[in-house]
Amino acid sequence: MGSEQPFKIAVSDDALALLKRKLDDTRLPDEVNAAEWAYGAPLADIKRLANRWKDGYDWRTHERKLNALPMFTRTIEVDGFGELNVHYVHQKSTAKGAIPLLFVMVVRPGCFLEVTKVLPLLTAVSADHPSFHVIAPSLPGYAWSEAVLKKGFDAKHYAELFNKLMISLGYTEYVTQGGDWGHILTLTAASLYGPKHVKASLTNMPICEPPTFGTPIVLLQCLIASFTSREREAVAASQDFFKSGMGYFREQSTKPQTLGFSLADSPVGLLAWIYEKLVTWTDSYPWTDDEVLTWISIYWFSRAGPAASVRIYYEIGDAVVGFPKTTIPVGLSFFPKELARFPKVLLPSKGRIVFESEHEAGGHFAAYEQPEALVGDLRKMFGKSGPAAGVVSGCDGY
């Protein structure tokens, strides 16, 4: 493994000029009358954002802000795939016993910006709560991590990359937090590298396979269970999402390269493809135009280009509704506007559940929408009286 190298974002003037030219040449579609969000991203929103991106939005200002983050790159060798240069945020706490925490992003349409609001909270030092060293990698093909150009890079390879990254940083024992793909990938890491290295995990998207006749006990539990009104509402919302909200997934998991031509060549196409999810997957989060454009710009200016980010769906799309089995302590954070929410009766068979928390607000991007709530769960789970207190040797958080 290579040594850690400090990293600063430095988008070239030529890249900015190309973006401006492409935005100047944009041809927008028409729109059905009174369509609003029923057909996808509204024309008025995309027109406003595209105009702001072209005239008014200052990437250099946001680039300077992003460069205040402690960012690094390191080359990690993954079995069968050679060396991959990985971009990551690594913020250390000043607490002597801080707990190493691997934070894994939502994945497309997420990015490393998800960690920015929780960083100061997680690394804060207090006698009242634990503190964490935070490591937030950009997955291969995202932001400034190198893309994988060989078939077959699946969940176990991501887990291997994470584990080797953490060990290279001196964290031979650590805990994890993730949602969406972060849920799948961190728990895959736990199943492969716990309890020796991965000691505990908190997921904010606790999803799993639905019960079948192949899992008769769980199926019976579901049939006789008395679900709460909140669970019934969650199941109904999840069914609606799987029925009408999975078009993006079908395309990305079957023909990502076809979609990639549009994402790589059209900044407005990329904007619309991601903006729709930023709005509809959050719990009425008040996005500013510059927040959205910074998020999209990270994709546009990324090392491998925006097409690389969709390939994970092709390689491991079958695992998207899963809860890899593990023996380590697992915590569950439930946010009401998460895309897929399952009855709690389904979850205990998948792991040693030691912590649960229900929240009144928040959606798919919990760390960005509700940073205090998510950090609060981590503090409760790993604090002095928490169910996962002291799981990392010599690192109690204080």
Active site residues: 180, 313, 364
Question: What would the two tokens of residue 144 be?
Answer: 């400034």
Question: To which residue do tokens 């945020």 refer?
Answer: 89
Question: What would the two tokens of residue 323 be?
Answer: 């809860």
By the 10 Å C-beta count (0-12 exposed, 13-18 middle, 19+ buried), 286 is classed as: exposed
Q: Which of 371, 326, 345, 362 is nearest to 183 (CA)?
A: 326
Question: What would the two tokens of residue 39 be?
Answer: 């057909």
CB 310 within 8 A of CB 259: yes
Neighbouring residues of 283: CB distance < 8 A, sequence distance ≥ 6: 335, 336, 337, 361, 362, 363, 369
